[in-house]
A and B are shown apart, each in its own frame.
Chain A
Amino acid sequence: MSDATTITNDSGLIAEAQHSFVFFSTLLDKPVHDANGVSIGRLSDLAVSVAYMFPPVVAFVVQRGRWEKFALTGRWTDVADISGAAIRLNVGIQSLTPSKMDTPGEVLLRETLLDMQIVDMNGAKVVRVNDLHFLKVGACELRLVHVDAGTRGLVRRMGWEPRIDGVLRRFAPQARYLSAERLIRWNYVQPLSLDDKAHRIRLSVMQRQVKELHPADIAEILEDLDTHERATMFRSLDPETAADALAEVDDPRIQTQLLETVSQEAAADILEEMPPDEAADLLSELPPETSTALLHKMEVEEAEDVRELLTYPPDTAGGMMTTELVSLPAELTVEDTFARLRSEALDVENIYYLFVVDSEQRLVGVLNLRQLIMAQPTARLHEIMIKDPARVHHTDSRDSVAEMVEKYDLLALPVVDDGDVLVGMITVDDVVSHIANQAWKRKLGH
């Protein structure tokens, strides 16, 4: 630690505008002396006010007694000096409150943050807090600026930093350890163990940041967390973000677990935001009573799509497909088609392929967006479409779907029923993981 402020005068004041950094571990367990220099005990915790961007230290806890331990709490304004071998107060022991403090909006650092897991929003990772890093302004004003998640923090906590640094400087001056600090700025830190009151204050800031993360990153963070913390984080997401993240979670076990941590109303909202095929997959993992209840709570229209998909076995084309697609009558002109796409296509996952149907909803052709753009505005769809396109029946197996997609290089594949009626489409992303698995197996020679 670069502790520049070692010169103090009698009043305990230090020349102003001196900034330096202090690690929490160097303050913990330091002896605490009262105004007369009498030892009171050892510093066991510090409290910060989380309402600020960089929370100031507002209170401290002293542990007194060797065997019969008890705690005393004091306000940070009572502290005169922290730079010496002992922390000096400018009051006597009688000004401290017996017992540990519990003030709303204030958070005890050792109890709730040190050694706990946090989310590093910048790196989108779950890490453990090894140390805390304060900016020291003036004599003893401390502000929490960083969380230390690096190996140096661990070494420092063990009390080995000077020795290990010395050895390394001597024998391996280029070692990455010497320069690599893993400090995470406080405003990128999402604590997971704070109590509700303190939590809510930070939540609004966090939600903004979480929204900026890619859903796949949020999903990975969720998967890395412990069960309870996972629930806390998931509950803090808005339905749209939650839906995106949930769709990215790979493990169906964790998916259902997450959905069970929110109320049924919230779960229904989340399901509505998901593509119907993903929602159906998820619902099919739930016990029948729960999935029925959730379907009831969903908007009728969304629930209908999902319910229809649920009737198909999951390992068939029907179970893989989505019912959100663009189907157009063969007689439509290109111009009208554009108009229709503008009004309808917002919710559809993939509009690169458009399906053309006859009056009975039977699949008669397919065309892609490029063909549509290149065509004359007055042309009718049946004149420009590819007739008799590749299709799968809803009972076809996952393998045959994968084969079709691979063989024809398709981005989306229409799914039909016995009467050749278009019932859905399978987009390439639903097939990719399956193909990847197959390819991997082939490579291993299975």
Chain B
Amino acid sequence: MEAQAGALRRWLPHGLRGRLQSGMWARIAVIIAVIGPGVITANVDNDAGGITTYSLAGAQFGYALLWSLIPITVALIVVQEMCARMGVVTGKGLADLIREQYGVKATFYIMVALLFTNLANTVAEFAGVAAALEIFGVSKYVSIPISALFVWWLVVYGTYRRVEKVFLIACVFYVSYLISGFLAQPRWGEVVTRLMVPEFSWRGEYVVMLIGLVGTTIAPWMQFYLQAAVVEKGVRLADYKYSRYDVIVGCIFTDVVAMFIIVACAATLFRNQIPVNTAADAALALAPLAGRYCAGLFAFGLFNASLFAASVLPLSTAYYVCEGFGWETGIDKRFREAPLFFGLYTTLIAVGAIFILIPRFPLLEIMYLSQVVNGMLLPFVLIFMLLLINRRDLMGAYVNSRTFNVIAWGTSVTMIVLTVAMVGTLLLGY
């Protein structure tokens, strides 16, 4: 963060530099330096799967599920904040901590499960890229190899800082959903009321969709990615409060985007009772109702989100698997220095992309399976997190307070119950 203050100063004309002495500039520099991990993690949460869920929620139930976004945001903030705090206080990633405190076996099973779900998720992301670009008339046999190569190149030839900048730019493109939300011309008064006033229905599909919304919110890999990114940033304890803002801003922005996706689909597809099954369907169906630009922005948003997640997922997976097992890692390394890290990364991308190119590959089944494994893994990750963050020998004075523990355990137990319910509904074939 000090480095950032220096960098910031260099950008300014010579004469102005002295004025940076004032505390305000220094504080802004610190905020700029600390921001990133929270915003990025939360945004990647709105990946191909997330956007599909939100589109379907809007298209099938209109505004009826909007209210759930507020408790979901709170839960997201509670869980992410704990990860950021652990990262800052211990200076270690979640995979590191689990390995150091719970040994090889626990680490091994968690990592194998993560490897599988993340591979399946990566496949889903590439499917999103393919679907979005097909709307613009690009064949998947062109789009997939190119985007896979781009993602791979970005990390193998990039530095951590450059990669993070690209990721932050990708976050900005989520604004396309806000614009398409406005272009859909919803009744804003109704949107606000339905957002604030909870309503509930015991209808089977409604409950399943609600569970789906919650289930897509907190994925196991996010906790590992966020904590590792906070550590990589080298955030100091003194600057932790800014990291907290980073998490809160990221989570709120993410769910605002989710809200606009629901609103865009609700104001058009739901009102005209047009059935859709995927996010790409939704984008296509938007064109006659809300105009070409709205549909285009919607499809572009899907492309951006999928490509973004397709870059982050393999990267973070390779990162924490290697960390947990003690293999060399790091974007800034050369291939030869960290062969397992880059090997794993390359394999995840290659396999993810190749699956999409196989004609009649059971894509939906894979996505479905990945959601199930995600859901089964989440309880373990959340419980490990809660146990770790309450260890005074690791966290010192930064363990959860009693109140926070009640909220955190409450949130986690709710998340676990709902996620298990989601796995149940998926297995029962809803």
Contact = CB atoms under 8 A, between A and B. Distances in A.
Contacts of A250: 332
A128 B2 contact: no
Interface centre among A115, A154, A252, A254 (most CB of B within 10 A): A115
B7 A115 contact: no
A115 B325 CA distance: 9
Contacts of A253: 3-4, 234
A65 B259 CA distance: 52
21 contacts: A115-B99, A115-B100, A127-B326, A130-B104, A154-B104, A223-B330, A223-B332, A224-B330, A228-B90, A229-B91, A255-B3, A285-B2, A286-B2, A286-B6, A287-B2, A287-B5, A288-B9, A288-B20, A288-B21, A314-B10, A315-B10
A30 B236 CA distance: 42
A149 interface: yes
B10 A226 contact: no
B6 A254 contact: no
A116 B330 contact: no
A287 B91 contact: no
A99 interface: no
A257 interface: yes
Given A115-B99, A129-B326, A130-B104, 13 more contacts: A115-B100, A154-B104, A158-B104, A223-B332, A226-B231, A227-B91, A255-B3, A256-B2, A260-B236, A284-B6, A285-B7, A286-B2, A288-B21
A251 B234 CA distance: 12
B203 interface: no
Interface of B: 2-7, 9-10, 14, 18, 20-21, 26, 29, 90-92, 96, 99-100, 103-105, 108, 231, 234, 236, 325-326, 328, 330, 332
B103 A157 contact: yes
Q: Ordered nearest first, which 3 A-B pairs have the shortest CB separation?
A: A128-B326, A227-B91, A285-B6
Given A224-B330, A226-B92, A287 B26 contact: yes
A400 interface: no
Given A257-B234, A285-B2, A290-B2, A154 B325 contact: yes
A289 B103 CA distance: 44
Contacts of A114: 103
A253 B103 CA distance: 32
Contacts of A116: 100
Interface string A154-191: 10011000000000000000000000000000000000
Interface residues of A, number: 38
Q: At the interface, is chain B mostly helix, strand, loop or mixed?
A: helix
Contacts of B105: 157-158
Contacts of B26: 287
Nearest to B91: A227
A138 interface: no
Given A115-B103, A154-B104, A149 B326 contact: yes
B14 A313 contact: yes
Contacts of B9: 284, 288
A106 to B, nearest CB: 18
A117 B95 CA distance: 13
Nearest to A319: B10
Interface in A100-140: 114-117, 125, 127-130
Interface in A274-305: 284-290
Contacts of A129: 326
B21 A285 contact: no
A253 B36 CA distance: 15
Contacts of A260: 2, 236
Contact of B96 (A154, A226, A314): A226
Given A256-B2, A286-B2, A287-B26, A227 B231 contact: yes
A227 B103 contact: no
Nearest to B99: A115
Contacts of A115: 99-100, 103-104
A257 B232 CA distance: 12
A306 B90 CA distance: 35
Interface centre among A158, A260, A285 (most CB of B within 10 A): A285
A252 B33 CA distance: 13
Contacts of A251: 332
A104 B18 CA distance: 51
B231 A128 contact: no
Nearest to B33: A253
A290 B29 CA distance: 15
B325 to A, nearest CB: 6
B231 A117 contact: no
A157 B2 CA distance: 42
Contacts of B10: 284, 313-315
A224 B103 CA distance: 21
A116 B96 CA distance: 8
Contacts of A154: 104, 108, 325
A220 B3 CA distance: 19
Contacts of B6: 252, 256, 284-287
A129 B325 CA distance: 9
Contacts of B100: 115-116
Given A130-B326, A253-B234, A314-B10, A228 B91 contact: yes
